[in-house]
Amino acid sequence: MMSCSLSFLSYCILLLVLAFCDLPLEVESRAFFVFGDSLVDNGNNNYLLTSARADSPPYGIDYPTHRATGRFSNGLNIPDIISEQLGMEPTLPYLAPQLTGDRLLVGANFASAGVGILNDTGIQFFNIIRIGKQLEYFEQYQRRVSGLIGAEQTEQLVNSALILITLGGNDFVNNYYLVPFSARSRQFSLPDYVVYLISEYRKILQKLYDLGGRRVLVTGTGPIGCVPAELAQRSTSGECSVELQRAAALFNPQLTQMLADLNSQIGANVFIAANTFTMNMDFVSNPQTYGFVTSKIACCGQGPYNGIGLCTTLSNLCPNRDIYAFWDPFHPSERANRIIVQQILTGSSEYMNPMNLSTIMALDSRT
C-alpha cells in the first residue's frame, strides 16, 4: 500500500514534469511595445518610401555600431534607454525582417517618424505608418505570436507588457503650423483644434486598451516652440515661439486630464502621463545646469541655430554631442534623452502622473 502510493506520487511528479516540459516556452521578462512618431521610431521608416528618415550619417554617430539605424538621435533614443534601464533587449522595428521567432517575445516598435494623432498630419512625408496602421500591425503581431505560444499566453504577454506612445507634436509642427493658413488652422481656432486632437487621441488609446494594453506610458508634447527648427523660422532673438508654446500649454494638461478620465472609466491606472514638456523645459531653460553649452543650437544642421533643413553629411556637426541638448533641428541628443528617461523612471508627481516607472515596475512585479 505504502510503496504503491509512493510510486503513485512519483508518477504524478513525472506527469507534472512532462506537462511543464510540454508547455510552450515561458515568457520570461516583460515585453515592450512602442507606438508613435520620430521621437520613438527606431527604424521602421527605413523600410518605407518616405522623406522622414534617419538612415544615413551622421545619424547614429554615437550609436554602439556608429551606424545610422533610423533613430532620430546621435545615439540611443527614449525607448532604447527605457529598455536599457529596465534590463531588456531593445525592441526591433516591426518592419525589420529580423523580427521573427523568439525575438517577437521581447516586444516590437511600431513607431513611424512623421505621424500624428490625425491622418492628415505628415502627409508631406508621403509613405509613413499612421497610428491606425500601427495598431493594425499590433493586431497582426498578436496573431503571429499566437502561432508561437498560443492565444492565452499571447494575451498574457500583451496584458503584462509595458507600452510607450508618443504623439501630438507633429499635429502642430507638421500640420496646423506647417504653412500659414493651413487647412486645419482655417478650420479650427487653436483651442478648438486641441479639443479635437484630444478627442481623437482618446479613441486611439481606447483601441490600445481594447487590444490588451494595460500599462501605457503616454508622453505629452515637448516645448515645440523652443526647438532649433522653430527658433530658426520664428524667433528674432532666440526666444521660443509664443504660438507653438501656447499650443503645447493647451494640449498637455488636457492630455493628462483625458488619461485620468480614461483610467477612472476603466477603474485602473492603465495610462500614465509623462510630462515631457517639463522634462525638456528643465534643460531648455537652464542648459548649463544640465551640462549643455546650449539648448538653442542643434548639433547637426545649418542656418540660424542649425535649425534649417535636414541633418546630413553636408551639415555643420558639433564635435561633442553630449554638450548639446538638441541633436538635430527637432530631436534631443542621446544625453538629453537620458535626462528625460531618468525623470520617467524616478520623477515626482510633477513629472509622472499618477506614478513613475520605478513605482510601476515595483507594483507589477508583486502581482
Ligand X SMILES: *[C@@H]1O[C@H](CO)[C@@H](O)[C@H](O)[C@H]1NC(C)=O
Which parts of this chain interact with ligand X (CB under 6 A)?
Answer: 119, 132, 200, 346, 348-349, 355-356, 358-359
Scanning the chain, the segments in alpha helix (DSSP H) are 2-22, 78-85, 131-149, 151-159, 169-171, 183-187, 190-210, 228-234, 242-266, 276-285, 334-346, 357-366
Tell me whether residue 282 is one of the annotated catalytic residues.
no
Q: Which of 241, 295, 328, 333 is catalytic?
A: 328
Indicate the pairing of strand 32-36 with strand 271-274.
unpaired
The widest CA-to-CA distance across the chain, in whole angstroms, is: 94
d(CA 1, CA 4): 5
Q: Which of 37, 38, 73, 235 is catalytic?
A: 38
Tell me whether residue 358 is one of the annotated catalytic residues.
no
Between 133 and 246, CB nearer to ligand X: 133
Between 135 and 145, CB nearer to ligand X: 135
Between 124 and 358, CB nearer to ligand X: 358
Tell me whether residue 38 is one of the annotated catalytic residues.
yes
Between 222 and 347, CB nearer to ligand X: 347
Between 60 and 116, CB nearer to ligand X: 116
Question: What's the residue count for the chain?
Answer: 367
Contact 240/231 with Cβ under 8 angstroms? yes
Contact 116/122 with Cβ under 8 angstroms? yes
d(CA 304, CA 331): 16
CB of 196 to ligand X, least distance (A): 9
d(CA 4, CA 35): 58
C-alpha cell at 134: 500601427
d(CA 55, CA 217): 27
Could you give the residue numbers annotated as active site?
Answer: 38, 328, 331
